[in-house]
């Protein structure tokens, strides 16, 4: 249960940020491919959640709500800021002096991130929302003001490109 005094409520939010903001941020970053937009989206969601904090009965509800609102905010910010949008701005983890297995994992992650950045915006959004966020296709179509058929085709194109990009890793495996 969230406490009802402002000081304790802030502590609850602080704790949730420490525990869950990674997931919120990652989702927004994968959608926007822009660290600044992802940060803004999470902040927007957090501040909206603060004003609705009385409606949440448990941290899990708040977490789910912020996650969803952050994604919507990310999509909205991206739409408003297409001119600033850059596929190449997505930061990737650095791997100095990592053990071999860890380096390999990080290389795989980088290749996967690069493959994601090769997708068009609509392909990436449909893929992230469906594959990583488990949205229903109808929800995605509604959010994107698109049709179910268009969303499916964008998802298929995205998966095809990603599977081709990651083929070398499968061959090695």
Partner 1 sequence: MINDQDLILFHYGDGLDLAQRQRIAQALISDPQLADRLHRLRAQLTQLDDLAQAPEPPPAMQQRWRTALAREARLSQSDPATGRWAWLRSPRLGHAVAAAVLLSFGIGIGQWLDGRPNPQTQAGIHAPIGAPVGTPSRRSPLLRGVQLHLRDTEQLLPQLTGADNAEQRRSLLAETRAQNRMYASAAEAQNDEQLARVLRAFDSALASLARERSDPQALAADQAQLSSELAVMQTKLAGAASKSLQEL
Contact 73, 65 (CB under 8 A): no
Contact 67, 11 (CB under 8 A): no
Which range of residues in 54-62, 96-104, 127-135 is near partner 1 by CB under 8 A?
127-135
155 lies in the site for partner 1, by CB under 8 A: yes
Nearer to partner 1, 84 or 100 (CB): 84
Give CA–CA dist 67/71, Å, rounded.
Answer: 6
102 lies in the site for partner 1, by CB under 8 A: no
Question: Residue 77: which of 114, 28, 126, 30 has the closest Cα?
Answer: 28
Q: Rule CB under 8 A: which of 60-99 touch partner 1? A: 77, 80-81, 84, 91-93
Angle subtended at Cα 120 by Cα 140 and Cα 136, rounded to the nearest 5 degrees: 15
Residue 1 CB, nearest distance to partner 1 (Å)?
A: 19
Tell me, by CB under 8 A, how many residues bind partner 1.
Answer: 53
17 lies in the site for partner 1, by CB under 8 A: yes
116 lies in the site for partner 1, by CB under 8 A: yes
């Amino acid at each position: 249960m969230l406490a009802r005094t402002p000081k304790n409520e802030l502590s609850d939010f602080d704790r949730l940020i420490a525990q869950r903001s990674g997931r919120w941020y990652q989702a927004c970053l994968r959608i926007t491919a822009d660290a600044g937009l992802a940060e803004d989206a999470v902040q927007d969601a957090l501040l909206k959640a603060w004003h609705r904090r009385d409606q949440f009965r448990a941290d899990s509800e708040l977490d789910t709500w912020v996650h969803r609102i952050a994604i919507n905010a990310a999509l909205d910010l991206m739409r408003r800021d297409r001119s600033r949008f850059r596929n190449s701005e997505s930061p990737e983890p650095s791997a100095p002096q990592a053990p071999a297995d860890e380096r390999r994992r990080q290389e795989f992650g980088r290749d996967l991130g690069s493959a994601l950045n090769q997708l068009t915006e609509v392909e990436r959004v449909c893929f992230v929302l469906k594959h990583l966020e488990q949205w229903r296709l109808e929800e995605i179509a509604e959010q994107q003001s698109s049709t179910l058929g268009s969303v499916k085709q964008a998802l298929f194109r995205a998966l095809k490109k990603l599977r081709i990009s990651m083929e070398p890793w499968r061959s090695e495996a």
